[in-house]
Copies of this chain bind each other. A is one copy, B any other.
Amino acid sequence: MFNPFRADGPGFLGEILDLLGERGRLLLGRRDEAPQARADDLAQLAEVLLSRRGQAAGGALAASLAAGYLGAAPAERHAFLGRLARDFGPDTDRSDAAIRAFHEGAPRALEALHAATEPRRQEVFRRLNLAPGGTGTLLQMRTDLLDILPSMPELAGVNADFLHLFTSWFNRGFLNLQQIDWDTPASILEKIIRYEAVHEIRNWDDLRNRLKPRDRRCYAFFHPQLPGEPLIFVEVALTTEIPAAIAPLLDLDRVPVEPEQATTAVFYSISNTQRGLAGVSFGNFLIKQVVELLRAEWPELRDFVTLSPVPGFARWLDAARKDSDSVLPEQLRQALDASDPAPEAAILSAAALYFLRARDARGRVVDPVARFHLGNGASLQRLNPGGDLSANGLGQSHGLMVNYRYTPADIERNHEAFAERGEVVASDAVRKALPARA
């Protein structure tokens, strides 16, 4: 393709080259001659990129910094991120002056203070985006950062800046919803296989079975600057009833339902793909938009539900059984101990407690998937013991799966109840599964 930023001839970046010294010059040169960049080189390039000279050089310099980063060894990448934290924070002189002005009662002083304290790395990021593929490079930096953040807590500010920028750039208004089907390019489908995080796609036959039959749908959000990269996708089955188990849905030999006869849309898998976008929330928008889209296409659809895993259940139950202060009543403990595997009725009661009574150390509903859907305004519709008998399903939740339900007219109220009062909106059936005294 066309590279708009090709440095051309010795004079083009002359002044910058003088500024950079030998190593920097090489970094700007032909890729095959360039030395592997060190954190110092990258930081120097970032400084130049921020300068007025850098503004004119624009893409060429940004491309060099991007290429230098991507070609650098992990240790140098991490050191460069450290430099972003240490040397590219707010300009302290400008900040001090702005604080003084504030105390002196200057007009619009807070706004000036806000401008003065913008970490300098934010502009580095914006200018890096001028490089071809710049957005992807920035996502890679964030991914690297998240890998080491636990051991380098000083990177928290850099992380916050990434998140702030990505929240703005990956605003829902800039995303495109696209259907993924069997006519989608293989290069994208390959990523669907790789990124599916809930129910592994074993091979291309498995994939086709989730995309091609008329009663199956898959939708993804894409960003214009990352073509071919689904950011998040959801897999949907059209059915004639709310399903209680995953295996029949994925069965290669099942008989498809005619969509015109379906009453229920089942969201049975939703996967984020870009670790670098952690914290930027798409799932809420995706589910709601797909609900509207399916309703417009098949007005007969009445129920919009998930068939969801319960990843925290087994671990919680294990702890609760050992903890005499837990919400588990004694009678239920005994029932759970009565056989192995535990009786289904006991699992059901424990599950009701898990969702409706148990809370984690921060006072939150324990299950992360539950927090996501309830936070989106869904309600807890049904508990399905034996819903996932795979090793993974048995291991993480004693086989339990659940349906969350998205009812457009209730979404806002449910969200309010959950977000403001921590209240879990659940069906009568779920409530009845609570042990008598709970």
Contacts and interface: CB of A to CB of B under 8 A. Distances in A.
Interface in A136-172: 156-157, 160, 164-165, 167-169, 171-172
A134 B171 CA distance: 11
A292 B6 contact: yes
Interface in A190-239: 190, 203-204, 208, 212, 224-225, 228
Contact of A114 (B2, B90, B224, B293): B90
Contacts of A131: 173
A52 B292 contact: no
A203 to B, nearest CB: 8
Interface stretch (A72-80, A267-275, A335-343, A409-417): A409-417
A89 B115 CA distance: 13
A15 B413 contact: yes
Interface residues of A, number: 89
Given A118-B114, A126-B168, A184-B185, A14 B99 contact: no
A56 B135 contact: no
Nearest to A419: B52
Contact of A409 (B9, B56, B183): B9
Contacts of A357: none
A3 B212 CA distance: 22
A409 B8 contact: yes
B56 A108 contact: no
A372 interface: no
Contact of A108 (B157, B174, B292, B377): B157
19 contacts: A2-B292, A4-B289, A11-B413, A52-B419, A56-B419, A89-B108, A95-B113, A114-B114, A114-B117, A129-B172, A130-B171, A130-B172, A168-B168, A183-B186, A184-B186, A185-B186, A186-B204, A203-B204, A204-B204
